[in-house]
Structure 1
Amino acid sequence: MQRRAVIISLTMLGLTGCVSGLGIEGTARPQMDRSYALRGFSFAALEGLSVSESETFYPDADIVWRGDPMGPRIPQIAAMFQEAAARTRPVVDDAVPVDVDVTLVRFHGVTNRTRYTVGGVYNVVFDLTIHRAGFDEVIEPARRVVDNLDAPGGERAGLLEQSGQTQKVRVTDFLTTLLRAQLV
């Protein structure tokens, strides 16, 4: 029993080190008046992002996602961002109509192996640019947004799943909150 606890502790330290040692930092959100009305939203992913379906504890890849059935991962992630934008529109509805461009840099969730044992974090990194709606005028130039969502492991992950808090539900809610925070 103690051996298992030591192995899990070492694994968690390794996972934490991998996330914090990436060297990916966000760009500070500029202080300014944001009276935005979200009108348009576009999603793209950087060219050449690596995708992993490996069930190791921490695959070396830009994209790791298990909240949807196996399939094209970037379109699955795009759908969550689109849903987050749709949920944000009624909340971000002020005077200045804007279009938002998101370019995915990293979306590293947890593998099933990690999720059903130690847990980890969902690490999301994207570049965000805000334009005046319908124009090329940049209101806020591209800035890097980096944030993490806790990914419970073991029994807690199972209980969340049973209560309807699937990975997809939790991550879509997280993306909605993250997007709103950037626009208000």
Structure 2
Amino acid sequence: MHRRTFLVSFPLLGLMGCGAAAGLQSDARPQMERSYALQGFNFNVLEGLTVSEDETFYPTADVVWRGDPLGPRIPQIAAMFEEAAARNRLTVDGTLPVTVDVTLVRFHGVTNRTRYTVGGVYNVVFDMTVRNANTGDVIEPARRVVGNLDAPGGTRATELESEGQTQKVRVTDFLTSLLRAQLV
């Protein structure tokens, strides 16, 4: 009986652990008319973030990413944010030119061990400021944005990969829609 309980509970712990970071939640989005034209984008990282390459179910770190080959994770994440911003330059095309400043607070993906078994959640947390691109004046002061994307596990993860829906594709698409939702 105890062994069965443990086997059922263990995957559930993995799923719960990959959820939102404790104590981190989105700030309320200011209620205002927006007609932004995204002109500029700046990516920064909160000082002191820890990066993990551990293949445990839930590494204790601020940055966990396995969607690119082993290498410097922060630049890999920055590239996805830059791509998301570039895509939004085409669709966020209102009348007021803006620059968006993003400071990464947390980017916790799933390890290969988690991905190929129970799955989890990509948890992305950043602070975002919107400034007038012409004057530099702050239009929307820094606020916390938290986004969670389901990370299917096991067979479903393998199927998505074979369909071209790699971790990098899915997360970049997610960041694109998350940024867009904050600007329109």
TM-score range, shorter chain: over 0.9
Q: Which residue in the other structure is 1:51 paired with?
A: 51
CA distance in 2, matches of 1:120, 1:78: 22
| SS in structure 1 at match of 2:91 | coil
Task: State the distance in 1 between where 2:93 and 2:4 align.
Answer: 52
For the pair 1:138 / 2:150, whether they are aligned, the reply is no
Output the CA distance in 1 between the equivalents of 2:59 and 2:65.
11
> 2:14–2:57: 8 Å Cα contact kept in structure 1?
no
Corresponding letter in the other structure for 1:68: D
Residues 96-131 of structure 1 deviation map (CA, whole Å, 9 limit, x = unaligned): 000000000000000000000000000000000000
Distance 1:4 1:88, change over 3 A: farther
- Map of 2:121 onto structure 1: 121
Provide the C-alpha distance between the structure 2 equivalents of 1:8 and 1:164, rounded to a whole number of angstroms: 31
Unaligned stretches of 5+ residues in structure 2: none
3-state DSSP of counterpart to 1:182: helix
- Residues 12 and 120 of structure 1 are in contact (CA less than 8 Å); yes or no, is this contact kept in structure 2? no
Indicate conservation of the 8 Å contact 2:52/2:61, yes or no.
yes
Q: Percent of pairs identical after alignment?
A: 73
What is the distance in 2 between the residues matched to 1:64 and 1:37?
32
Structure 1: stretches of 5+ with no match in the other structure? none
Quote the residue 2:157 is aligned against.
157
Which shows bigger deviation, 106-115 or 20-29?
A: 20-29
Where do residues 24-173 of structure 1 align in structure 2 (5 Å cutoff)? 24-173=24-173
Indicate if the aligned counterparts of 1:15 and 1:58 stay in contact, CA closer than 8 A.
Answer: no
Report the aligned-residue RMSD: 1.7
Which secondary structure does the structure 2 equivalent of 1:53 belong to?
Answer: coil
* 4+ runs deviating over 6 angstroms: none
Shift of the alpha carbon at 1:11? 3.2
TM-score by length of 2: 0.94
User: Could you tell me whether the CA contact under 8 Å between 2:14 and 2:120 is conserved in 1?
Assistant: no
Report the CA distance shift for 1:15/1:162 in structure 2 as closer, same or farther (over 3 A).
same
Count of residue pairs brought into register by the alignment: 183
